[in-house]
Structure 1
Amino acid sequence: MLLGRKKRVCVVSLDGVSDDLLEGAFQEGRLSPLAAVWKQGGVAPLSSSIPPISSVAWATYATGVNPGGHGIYGFVDRDPRSMDQYIPTARDVAAPTLWARLGEAGLKPTVINLPLTYPAQPFPGTLVAGFPAPELRHAAHPPELAHTLIDSGYLVDPDPRLASDPPAFFAEVKKTIACRRRLALRLLKEDWNLFHLHIMATDRLNHFFLRARLSGTPYHQDFWSAYEDIAELVGEVVEGLPKGTELVLMSDHGFSEAEWQVDLNRWLLEKGLLRLEEGGAGPRRVAPDSVAYSLTPGRVYLMREGRERGGWITPREAPYNLERVREALLEVRTPDGGPAVAEVFWGEEIYRGPRAALGPDLVAIPTPSVELRGGWEGKELAQPAPRQGCHTLEGAFLWIRDREPKPGNILDVPPTLWSLLRLPLPGDFEGKVLI
């Protein structure tokens, strides 16, 4: 069968965008190109990964398995043998990706700027890596595409450090969207079966200027001007799709306004469950007689014997200590007296697979308006949130043209795409089809 006659699916993902934000904007007469597309399909809520952050969510989407299978638990992780911190990359994703599977099956995927795809790995298709991507020369496959990116001054992601200079930040957001538009419209003309365009700028806008969505707030016009550029980009991509293409819009997690940032390591220190030694950095400061420590966001690890450097807690002692830590986490309060933690998940209940044993033993989900971190300075337990928006477990969406998808989890999107492509489902996909 000729490539051009095979089924095509286009996915446009808007990082950290809720359908409530979009539909509210549509009602106000905003984002007209996207609103016109939105009327052509149905939408359903998606719950995110645990924890609900982009690297974990998109690794889950990219592989069709939970973090225990793909091994990504956050933008920062630790080697338990040395307690050194590191930033996971595409090389750390321990399960095959959707695009690698499709390429091996003789189909041609094109993937643009999904997080945790750097450095670009070779496969039968086209990929431009997403955040974090420090060097463009390693950010594309085939490799010659990297030269085009470099020559054009391509921006993978707005620089978050510019948020302290709002005019410069919004200018860079708009420049990033313009780069994405030029690349997407060019690659859209090539042969493909799966075309995935990811927009990371929405996450940046929501983190740093979520309150600007409200009328009368500073940078209100700048916020919506950037969103209008994104809506126009989506409209142009949809207009350029070959006839008969299945169209999917989605996001990976929700957002709420942030009020407090709470340091779980500070709380563990106060409860006598953690002791930090002088010298070293990050988890290397954890003393061997500690019970547990935390990594951002809300991940808590026991000092397990045979796993953590200096670990002493045996499998028999683990349940008692896990319950101690869980109860302590649920006691954390913000300065206004409200609970900081809404729920605590047990790692053994939510993670399964060859990398599950390396994952967190507990994951704390914050209450709306709270951001959890694992700090190493041992200073304030809680402080005003440094950013305007924080991630939420609920609030993501799945929209499909001419269909009414069922509510689900981000794990369910890969089998749903396989169904749209009319391919037999791989046996290791963990989700269900939502159409």
Structure 2
Amino acid sequence: MFVLGLDSLPPKVLYENYGEGLDFIRQLTKESQNYLMKTCHPPITVPAWISMFTGKTPGELGIYGFRHRKPGTFDSYVVNSNDVKEKTIWDELAKFNIKTGLFGVPPTYPPKPMNGFMVTDFNTPGKEKPYTFPPWLKSEIENKIGESPIFDVVYRTEDRNKAYSDLMEMIDNHQKILNYLVKKAWDLFIYVEIGVDRAHHMFWKYFDDTHPRYEYNEKFSRAIPNVYKKIDNWFSKLIKELPKDTIYVIVSDHGTKSMKGSYPINQWLMQQGFLKIKNETKEGEDLLPDNINWNETKVWAWGGYYSRFFFNIKGREPKGILEKEEIEGLIKDLKNSILKIKGPNNEQWKNEAYTPQEIYPEIKGDAPDLTVYLDDLNWRPIGTIGYKSMYLEKNDKGPDDSMHDWYGVFSIYDPEGTIEKGNKGVIEINKIKNVLEQLILGK
């Protein structure tokens, strides 16, 4: 089985033929078993892929995003493979002596022993670090191919020309290494291409003509189709090289949609009286702990594709003021207030706010107190403050014109025709592992 993970690929691109560049893969889906893939809470690369490959929800994993807050502090840490405590599909299949090859699956850095081999993911700090299992695969790749993996690119930048050339170079680099790795012995190979996600974040407003700030550009409007085409061409050649009984899976971890704008969520908390600062700030400044009046602050937040709210609870936080018996009422107040947030023209938004207990069967690790989505993920909550308006066109951390979406894709192609073709409805991301295991074990 070969799993091609296209990070953030939305159903409208694969199943509804929106845009160009995936001709071969789209043709395969006509002969495949196809699902809409419903992603996890939150719909983020980390934890979505590891939820898919462990069969666990983010709550059960204790992984709630790319970065986590260190409890009782304003500091954060980046999630890595050491935070994954549950068995993955490659761990479980090893019991049946099934060998797995991994490339770019988040979060697999730092590399861990496995029955097979791996090259780690976009979180890898650099080529000077260990990035393979077995360890000697690193020097083997560098000697045989003559280059190290490019793990990621700078994609939130005003220099889109450089971003585009770096992106295409990264995908070329991945394909060279993969062409070498697929010749090794394996039963299951999982390749996640983060470059698709980076292309969407960089160039979505030039690609999607429904974007509120759609702009045709002779070069940048071709960027996403060119990324698709590069992957599609490579994949069409790969299929000719692999055994005829190989099952192929096309899957994404979440979808993509246009970002209508951004909304300063900490500024809103200030307006509502949940957060108090000591001194006024310049536009776009970070909320800093030294500028928070902790004696009068109940809640503060992180921004991102979703917002994480943290409560200033007595006994848990260094300067906590909330008694435990106050928390239930606070949650009710926050939810009611969040539901009332409307758009710039007073239009109704679909806002959602959840405690961990409402969305996960089990809660481990450093969960936020409340997970908040604005307007069904159309608007980005940002953490910076000091704005004159509550409705902004841009992201506060560099150019980014797309948001994540709830639905991705999951398509299974069996050239031997042993699986039923056609559309099969919706599958939740943490149910995919079980389907893959049954297919590879021939159940």
Q: Same fold per TM (> 0.5)?
A: yes
1:391 alignment partner in structure 2:
404
2:326 alignment partner in structure 1:
317
Q: Which amino acid aligns with 1:221?
A: R
After alignment, is 135-144 or 195-204 more displaced?
Answer: 135-144
2:85 alignment partner in structure 1:
94
2:273 alignment partner in structure 1:
272
d(CA) in 2 for partners of 1:276, 1:258: 29
1:111 is paired with a residue of what secondary structure?
A: strand
Would you say the 8 A contact 2:341–2:351 is kept in 1? Answer: no
CA separation of 1:409 and 1:132: change in aligned 2, threshold 3 A: same
d(CA) in 1 for partners of 2:345, 2:200: 24
1:192 is paired with a residue of what secondary structure?
A: coil
After alignment, is 318-327 or 336-345 more displaced?
Answer: 336-345
2:308 alignment partner in structure 1:
299
- Percent of aligned pairs with the same residue? 23
What's the CA shift for 1:288? 5.2
What's the CA shift for 1:284? 4.1
d(CA) in 1 for partners of 2:174, 2:357: 40
CA separation of 1:24 and 1:353: change in aligned 2, threshold 3 A: closer
Q: Which amino acid aligns with 2:229?
A: E
1:226 alignment partner in structure 2:
227
Q: Which amino acid aligns with 1:57?
A: A
Q: Which amino acid aligns with 1:183?
A: I
1:365 alignment partner in structure 2:
373
2:435 to 413, 416, 426: 416
2:163 to 155, 163, 169: 169
d(CA) in 2 for partners of 1:337, 1:148: 59
1:430 alignment partner in structure 2:
none
2:8 alignment partner in structure 1:
16
2:351 is paired with a residue of what secondary structure?
A: strand
Describe the superposition over 1:277-303 as per-residue Cα deviations: whole angstroms up to 9, x where unpaired: 679x86745525422222232222223
| 1:166-245 alignment, distance < 5 Å | 166-214=160-208, 217-218=216-217, 219-245=220-246
2:152 alignment partner in structure 1:
157
What's the CA shift for 1:33? 2.2
Describe the superposition over 1:20-73 as per-residue Cα deviations: whole angstroms up to 9, x where unpaired: 1124447x7642222332222021111111111111211211321111111111
What's the CA shift for 1:146? 2.3
Would you say the 8 A contact 2:350–2:375 is kept in 1? Answer: yes
What's the CA shift for 1:230? 1.4
**Taking structure 2 as the reference length, what is the TM-score of the superposition?**
0.85
d(CA) in 2 for partners of 1:388, 1:152: 32
CA separation of 1:353 and 1:16: change in aligned 2, threshold 3 A: same
RMSD over equivalenced CA pairs, Å? 2.7
After alignment, is 115-124 or 338-347 more displaced?
Answer: 338-347
After alignment, is 181-190 or 337-346 more displaced?
Answer: 337-346
Aligned pair count reads 412
2:258 alignment partner in structure 1:
257
CA separation of 1:235 and 1:282: change in aligned 2, threshold 3 A: farther
What's the CA shift for 1:82? 2.9
| 1:95-174 alignment, distance < 5 Å | 95-136=86-127, 137-150=129-142, 151-161=146-156, 163-174=157-168
Describe the superposition over 1:405-425 as per-residue Cα deviations: whole angstroms up to 9, x where unpaired: 44111111111111112289x
Describe the superposition over 1:206-260 as per-residue Cα deviations: whole angstroms up to 9, x where unpaired: 1121132257811222331221101112223333332322221111111111121
CA separation of 1:192 and 1:198: change in aligned 2, threshold 3 A: same
Please identify runs of 4+ aligned residues in structure 1 that moved more than 6 A.
none
**Taking structure 1 as the reference length, what is the TM-score of the superposition?**
0.86
Q: Does 1:400 align with 2:412?
A: yes
Q: Which amino acid aligns with 1:391?
A: H
